[in-house]
Structure 1
Amino acid sequence: MASSSTAFDLDQNERPVEDFYKLLDISKNATAEEIKKAYKRAALKYHPDKVGSHPEAVERFQRIRRAYDVLNDPDKRNIYDSYGEQGVTAMETMGGRVPMFHPGMLVVINRIFFLLTICVALLILFPAFLSMRADGKVQWPWVAVFTPLFILDALVLLIAWVNFSREPEDETSEEDFADKESHEEHKRKSKAEKRLSTAITFTYVILLTILQVLIALRLDSVITTSWLVVSVPWFALEAFHGIVAIPALFSKFAMGAYDIDASGDPSPRSLNALEKLKAISDAYVPWALRVIQVVLIDVKANGAAFSWAATFSPVFIYVFLELVSLVLSYQEYRRSRQSATNEQAAEKKAVLGFNVFGFVLLAFTVCYTVGMLITRLNNSDDTTPSSAVILVPVFIIMSTLFCCTCCFLPTILCCWKLSTMAAQEGEEEQVEIINEDRRITNE
C-alpha cells in the first residue's frame, strides 16, 4: 500500500496549485475578519522558524502569504473567485487594473455585445429591404424600407439618454487637488463635458433621423422638393464637422512633433510648412469630397445632364488619395527603418501592414459597389445588375461583424472563463498526487 505524501514532496512542475481557501482553512463565504484570523493561525503554524527552513516549508509559508494577499483584497478576491489565480496573475501583470477581469465588467461587456448584435442586425436588414424594394420584389413604401434605421436611431438616442441620466464617475479624490473647491470645480467641468458630449450625440442622431425621413418621403413622392433641400440636415452636419476641425488643427500645430535624438529620447519641435499642409489636407480633403459628392448626387437626381460616372468621381478621387497616402507611408517607413530599433521597426511594419489591408478592403468595396451601381443606373431597364449583387460587399462586411458580435467574440470570452473555472475546479478536486517514482506497481 502506498504511503501518503503531500504535494510538497513533488517537483515544482508536478505540484498541484492548492486552493487559497483550503490553504487558509476557511469557507468561500468567509468575512475579511475571518480571513485575517485564519492567516494569523496558518502563519504561526507553518512559519519556517517553527517547522524548519527546508524548501517545502518556505514555499508553503509563501503560498499562505500569497493566499492572504489575494483574499484580503476585494477586487483580487472577486477575480480569483471567477478565474482563479491565473486571472489574478494577469491582473497584476497588467498594472493591477484590468477592468474586463472584474465580474461586474463582464456583465457590461455582455450587454455591449448584445447591443452591438442588435445594431448590426438592423444594419443588415436595411440593405436587404433596400435591395428588395429597388428590384421590385416588394411594393412597400420607402418609409417602411427605412424602418431598421429608425429603430437604430431610437436605440442610440435611448442609450445616450441613459448615459446622460447617470451621474459621472469621479475617479479623483480631494487629495489630488489643492483644496476642496478645486475638486468641486473639476467635478463640475466633468459633468459639463458629459452634457456637451450627450448634446452633440443627440444633435447628430436627430439630424440623421430627419435626413432619413426626408429621403423616404421624397422617394414616396409625399414631398416634391429639390433633393438639395432634402440634404440640408446632412449639410448641417458637415458644417459642424468643418467648424470642429479648426480648433483641433490649431491644437495639433501647438503640440508640434517629436524627433528621436541620438540618445533615443524624444526631442520636441514645431511643425514645418509641409507638415502643416498635410494636417490641413487630412482634416479637410475628405470633408470637401463628402460635401461635393452629396451635391453632385442631388444635382444629378434633380435632372442634370452629366453622367453617373462623373457624379461619383469624388469617391474614386478619395480612393486614389488614400493610395497616395499609403505609398508615402511606405516611403517614410523605408527611410526610418535604418535608424529605428528592431522593436520600433517591427511596430511600424505592423502598422503599415494593417493600413495596406484596410486600403485593399476599402478599395475593393468602394470600387466594386460604386462601379456596379453606375452600371445599373446607366442601363435602360434600370434592373441589372440587381441591387442584391451590387450590395454583396456590404452584406459580407455586415455579416462578418454580426458573427463577431453575436458569436465569435462572446464565445472566446466564454471559453476563456470556462477554461479558468474548469482549471480551478480541477485544482479543488485534486487532493494528492503521487510521484511516479514512488508509486507501487504489480511488477
Structure 2
Amino acid sequence: MMDTMGPGAILLDPEVEAVILTFFCILSLIFVCIIFWLVFICLKVDSSVRWPWSVVFIPLWIIDGLILWMSLHYFRDSNSMNKHSSHVHDDEDEGEEDEEELLLNEGRYKKSIISRCIPLIECVLIILFQVLVVLYLDGYPVYLPCILAPYYGFEVIHSLFNGKSGWVTRLVILIQLTCIVFYHKDWVIVFIPTYLLGLFYFLKLWRQYRHFARMGNQELAQQAKSLVFAATILYCLLATLFYTVLGLIIARLKGMVQIRLIVILIPIFIIMGIMLCCSGCCLPCMLILPSSLPSHDPEIVDPNRRMTPSSATARAVLIF
C-alpha cells in the first residue's frame, strides 16, 4: 500500500491517526497548563492574589500527573510485552538452552527492567524537587541543599543511563539552579551560566556554518549554509527576546524598575499562544486532512491498449 499510494499512506491508518491526535492533544494540554502556571506566578508575584505557592503550582502538578501516568503506562506495557516474549521464547526453546544461555537471558531481563524503571524514577525525582521548592516558598523549614538533592539525583541517573547527549545544557541548568539557591547578592552575576549558554549555541551555529562552507559539493554546501543562516537568524531573534525578558526580570529583582511581571512576560505569552495554536489546530490539520482526501490519480492505461490515430481510424472503418 505504501508503494502504490506514497509516503502519506501511513496517515490513512486509523491507529496512526489516533496516535498523532493523542500526541497533539497532550502537547496542547501541556501548553495550556504552562500558560496558566505563568499567569498564576505573575498574579502571585505582583501581589494580585494571596494564594499559597502550592495553589500557584497546580497547573504544573497537572503536567506532572500526566507525565507520571505516561511513565506508569510505559512501564506496564513494556513489562507485559517482555513477559509475553519470554513465555514464547520458553515454549520454543524449552529443554534446548544450556545454563550459560539462561544466565544471559536473565541478565538481559534484569537490564530491561532497570531501563523501564528509569523514566519513572526520573519523573518521581523531578516531582520531589518541585514539592521541596514549593514547601520552601511557602515558608516551611526546608534545608536548602535538600531542595537540589532530587535534581542532582535526576541528572546523575540521566547521565548514567542516557549517555552524554545534551550534557552542556543540563550542566548549565544544574549550575544555574545551584547559583539561584545559594547566591542572592547580585542577580546579574547569578545568571552568568545562562548568558554563557546563549553564547555557546551561537558559536555552535557559527561552527556549523564554517563546516558547511568547506564542503566540496558547492550546491549542497550552499543549501546547508542557507539553512544554517536561517536558523541563526531565528535563534538571534528568539535569544534577543529571551534575554530582554531576563534583563527586565533581573532589573525588577534588583528594584531598578517597577514593571509588573505579567507585562514583562507578554512576549512569552505570545510565543506560547502561537505554539498552542500550532499544536492544537494547524499541525493536526496539515498531517491528517490531506491523507483523508480522496485520491484523484488518473487511471494508468496499458500502452498496448491506448488508442492512437491510426487504430481509431481502422476501428471506424471496420464499424462502417
Q: Report the AA paired with residue 62 of structure 2.
A: I
State how far apart, in whole Å, the 1-side matches of 2:269 and 2:130 are: 21
Contact 1:168 1:190 (C-alpha < 8 Å) held by counterparts: no
* Among 146, 155, 162, the residue aligned to 2:73: 162
Distance 1:160 1:386, change over 3 A: same
State how far apart, in whole Å, the 1-side matches of 2:56 and 2:239 are: 28
Q: How does 1:354-433 map to 2 (within 5 A)?
A: 355-357=231-233, 359-379=235-255, 384-420=258-294
Distance 1:104 1:283, change over 3 A: closer
State how far apart, in whole Å, the 2-side matches of 1:359 and 1:322 are: 9
**TM superposition shift of 1:144:** 0.5
Residue 217 of structure 2 is aligned to residue 340 of structure 1:
yes
* Among 329, 346, 369, the residue aligned to 2:208: 329
Between Structure 1 and Structure 2, the one with more helix by share is 2
**TM superposition shift of 1:140:** 0.8
Distance 1:123 1:140, change over 3 A: same
State how far apart, in whole Å, the 2-side matches of 1:103 and 1:190 are: 34
Q: Which runs of 5+ in 1 are unaligned?
A: 1-75, 80-86, 173-178, 250-281, 428-443
TM (norm. structure 2) is: 0.75
Distance 1:121 1:227, change over 3 A: same
**TM superposition shift of 1:328:** 2.0
Contact 2:11 2:291 (C-alpha < 8 Å) held by counterparts: no
Who is 1:128 aligned against? 39
Q: Report the AA paired with residue 231 of structure 1.
A: L
- The structure with the largest alpha-carbon Rg is 1
Distance 1:160 1:289, change over 3 A: closer
Contact 2:37 2:56 (C-alpha < 8 Å) held by counterparts: yes
State how far apart, in whole Å, the 1-side matches of 2:180 and 2:52 are: 22
Distance 1:114 1:291, change over 3 A: closer
* Among 130, 141, 158, the residue aligned to 1:224: 141
* Among 23, 37, 49, the residue aligned to 1:112: 23
Q: Which runs of 5+ in 2 are unaligned?
A: 86-91, 300-320
Please give the secondary structure, in 2, of the residue aligned with 1:131. Answer: helix
**TM superposition shift of 1:168:** 3.8
Q: Report the AA paired with residue 157 of structure 2.
A: F
**TM superposition shift of 1:400:** 1.8
Query: Deviation string for 1:172-192 (max 9, x for gaps)?
Result: 9xxxxxx96899999988876
Distance 1:244 1:353, change over 3 A: farther
**TM superposition shift of 1:135:** 0.6
Contact 1:168 1:191 (C-alpha < 8 Å) held by counterparts: no
Query: Deviation string for 1:4-56 (max 9, x for gaps)?
Result: xxxxxxxxxxxxxxxxxxxxxxxxxxxxxxxxxxxxxxxxxxxxxxxxxxxxx
Contact 2:122 2:157 (C-alpha < 8 Å) held by counterparts: no
Identity percentage over the alignment?
24
Residue 146 of structure 2 is aligned to residue 235 of structure 1:
no
Contact 2:33 2:63 (C-alpha < 8 Å) held by counterparts: yes
**TM superposition shift of 1:341:** 5.4
TM (norm. structure 1) is: 0.56
Query: Deviation string for 1:368-426 (max 9, x for gaps)?
Result: 2211110110116xx722111232333223222211111111222343144327x59xx
Who is 2:120 aligned against? 202
Q: How does 1:311-322 map to 2 (within 5 A)?
A: 311-322=190-201
Distance 1:233 1:330, change over 3 A: same
Q: Report the AA paired with residue 238 of structure 1.
A: E
Residue range with higher mean Cα deviation, 356-365 or 385-394: 356-365
Contact 1:289 1:315 (C-alpha < 8 Å) held by counterparts: yes
Residue 214 of structure 2 is aligned to residue 296 of structure 1:
no
Please give the secondary structure, in 2, of the residue aligned with 1:138. Answer: coil
Residue 55 of structure 2 is aligned to residue 144 of structure 1:
yes
Supply the RMSD in Å over aligned alpha carbons: 3.5
State how far apart, in whole Å, the 1-side matches of 2:167 and 2:292 are: 49
State how far apart, in whole Å, the 2-side matches of 1:400 and 1:241 are: 31
